[in-house]
Amino acid sequence: MSSHRIHNFNAGPAALPLPVLEEIQAGFLDFGGSGMSVTEVSHRSKWFDDVINDTVDRFRRLLQLDDRYHVLFLQGGASMQFCMVPMNVLPDGASADYVDTGTWSTKAIKEARTLGKTVNVAASSEDKNYSYIPRELALDPQAAYLHITSNNTIKGTQWHRYPDTAGVPLVADMSSDIMSRPLDPGPFGLIYAGAQKNIGPAGVCLVIIRDDMLGRVPETLPSMLKYTTFSAKNSMFNTPPCFAIYTVQLVLKWLEDTVGGLEAMATVNRKKAATLYDLMENDGFYRGTAAADSRSLMNVTFRLPDEDLEKRFVAEALENGLGGLKGHRSVGGCRASIYNAVSLAAVEALAQFMKEFARRNG
């Protein structure tokens, strides 16, 4: 079956590896010899048990998680975690530190406060429109946790070195750069990530939680809002989002078996990002919006000399098979999201187009 395909630079939902899509397509009417689609098999069947267990195992191997960590699959995206995290692991009477790097961390702070929880903003880059990652943090050594957003899809910023918290557990929203580079899980008490950028389709949210954080979960929460419900039942207290988890499984298989793991993935990702940032630095036509030391390897945000040119850039790029380059509606400009599944060849095609567009319009 041959299909028209574009290079997809969407911020999320985003590109998935073509071999993953082809495997889903090929077996869509008969999953693993079951005689049913993967969308039709029971979550209480051996077929789905194999899917979810293999997915968990692959996360454990790729992220080198020891037995203290639990790998869970929830619904509602990272936005649901903005309230679930403080409900579960920020006890009344305690306070948590949050670093505000814009948009998503701002929302996470707002939702914690909506619950009546005490939040200390340990640092913010609001003074420069969130174009950088703060280095000076006013950390509370008694904080229940320090919350960060590892990568900001909208502002194009990313933490390149995680802060030293002297034992306070890190909690991170890693929706937009999870599995894009090796990770030392040690400092993290909880990691969450909506799947639809680096690890799968929309509809499932990864939560990795450590024993000590699970121990904080109040028994009084509704079942579906407490992490212990999911850890006790291998994420199957109720019907999980089976298709989304299955797709995540295939993405991890591709990452492990075809790409060769997180170190190999990071090498490709650094090369992709350098291709675009180098072009912008040497060019003068495109202007990156993030501070050089805070640039995201996942979301490359940039402006052109004026908004008319930006509109034409996005439109002409699409005509050339390069989609999803419009910046987020809240900030304008342009953005190339170059997650794991976006190939180096796709980025090189974009760079080529950018050079030609600059030459014609510079």
Active site residues: 104, 173, 197
- Judged by beta carbon, residue 4 or residue 360, the one nearer its own copies is 4
- Judged by beta carbon, residue 132 or residue 254, the one nearer its own copies is 254
CB of 88 to its own copies, least distance (A): 12
CB of 145 to its own copies, least distance (A): 18
CB of 11 to its own copies, least distance (A): 7
Query: In this chain, which stretch among 94-102, 159-167, 235-243, 260-268 interacts with its own copies, using CB under 8 A?
Result: 235-243
Residues within window 273-292 making contact with its own copies, judged by CB under 8 A? none
- Judged by beta carbon, residue 3 or residue 142, the one nearer its own copies is 3
CB of 213 to its own copies, least distance (A): 19
Q: Is residue 105 within the footprint of its own copies (CB under 8 A)?
A: no
Question: Using CB under 8 A as the criterion, what x/- string covers residues 28-57 for binding its own copies?
Answer: xxx--xxxxx-xxxxxx-------------
Residues within window 182-211 making contact with its own copies, judged by CB under 8 A? 194, 196, 201-204
Q: Is residue 77 within the footprint of its own copies (CB under 8 A)?
A: yes
Query: In this chain, which stretch among 50-58, 72-80, 182-190, 305-313 interacts with its own copies, using CB under 8 A?
Result: 72-80
Residues within window 165-184 making contact with its own copies, judged by CB under 8 A? none
Rule CB under 8 A: choose which of 16, 72, 183, 268 binds its own copies: 16
Q: Is residue 330 within the footprint of its own copies (CB under 8 A)?
A: no
CB of 222 to its own copies, least distance (A): 4
The answer for residues whose C-beta is within 8 angstroms of residue 212's C-beta and 6 or more apart is 68, 169, 189
Q: Is residue 131 within the footprint of its own copies (CB under 8 A)?
A: no
- Judged by beta carbon, residue 142 or residue 220, the one nearer its own copies is 220
